[in-house]
Structure 1
Amino acid sequence: MPTTTAAGAEQPAATPTGESRLALVRRARRIDRELARTYPDARAELDFTTPLELLVATVLSAQTTDVRVNATTPALFARYPDAAAYAGADPEELEPILKPLGFFRAKARALIGLGQALVERYDGEVPARLEDLVTLPGVGRKTANVVLGNAFGVPGITVDTHFGRLARRFGWTTSEDPVKVEHEVGELIPKRDWTMLSHHLVWHGRRVCHSRRPACGACPVARWCPSFGIGETDPDAAEKLVKPGPTPSPSTPQPPAA
């Protein structure tokens, strides 16, 4: 929102980096376009074939890895094909399937409660509206946006730890609050691109822009990043920090222009 000076003239609201609003929007979109080129196959890394499977997998992904969830869900989905099956599940049968994920008793209770809520409120179908999804037990905005964007094609921004970290490093926001991050970043990027933006930042955060030691020298968006230099800047050393997966092929990174 604009601010008003003592003289009564409106001034543009300050951006996190001090650049103009227009410059911030252009830089944010340039970063997203470059990440799209770097990760053309970016997608949700949880395996699913139906909205229910994605909802369940996302709930299970808390405090574990997508790889571990994907190793567990084939047997789970075969045994529990619909919401009614989860609603009537015997914890003694469900818990052993979930044991590799950790917190398996709590996760079993969560899936049973989720199935019951879907059966009681939505005839066993996963709703396609954010306001409905967030009423389900264990489902917050992050999980809801994952399901909406990837199962229903409804644009949404998924603010996980990777997304929030990169959004702050890119100077798109200063907030630690996921809801504020979602709204502030959403004002920079066209709505139609929100779901893919989420994938781009998550993939980049997992592979290059790590929490403790980002690989700045192997980063394809280094020249537009105000945080360039917080990690390893030597290209050869940085390349060794890149995690497995689709690897970026950047041009020589440069610090952002003053």
Structure 2
Amino acid sequence: MSFTQTVFLPVTPDQAFDLVTQPERLRRWQTLAARDDLRAGGEYRWTVVPGAHAAGTFTEIEPGRVLAFTWGWEGMESLPPGSSDITITFSPAEGGTNVTLVHEGLDDEQAASHAEGWNHYLGRLVAVAEKGDAGLDVWGMPEDFDQLKSADASWAVLSRVLTAVGPEAANLPTPCADFDIAALTDHLRGSIVGIGRALGADLPEQAADDDGAQADAAARAEARIAAVVQPTLEAFARHGLEGELDMGFAVL
């Protein structure tokens, strides 16, 4: 079976394409964290809600026109990563763009559950295109928690806070007497980088330069932290809860 839905976005086709492909924009409406290798044959991994990770491969990319990729869920035997197909087309319309999503390769139960999910998230896509922010995702609270889901959920809360912190706030004070917002953001990023290194995360190259360095006032706090949170959370999921972690200053 398949699911098909079309929504209208009051933006250009290129802007609509960016909303569904760029990690910083995906985090506004669909994902908590996103890794994209945006090329035919490139892989992606999206944390949609705490503990739920979609993954697959991009199969066709025409910016502003077509995006196609395989789809599935980590840990789901009935629909593993790459086991279904999604095609999104972008058609110019008066005042904006019609975005049509077709999800194929689903059984009846999967089609029903994904229809509910896509209707929810396409509604959030419309909201972010119209208002710039879809708000807190009410689906972001899992019914049961473990440490891995709690890590994802912690980032869900933190990202909402950081989204409101613009470059103009860099020098504002915080409850920590020795840290303004820029310094506290640096400290947070450095802590996450340290955890990511211990987990063997594939961190961005600039992460090493940020240890002990003052934040770039021109960079958005949410984007800076997200760049190191995503690979760290992914490495945590691979590592799991068993064994030890050498932080350098202590073994946990």
Q: Which category describes the TM-score, using the shorter chain as reference length?
A: 0.3 to 0.5
Structure with greater Cα Rg = 1
State TM-score, norm by structure 2. Answer: 0.34
State TM-score, norm by structure 1. Answer: 0.33
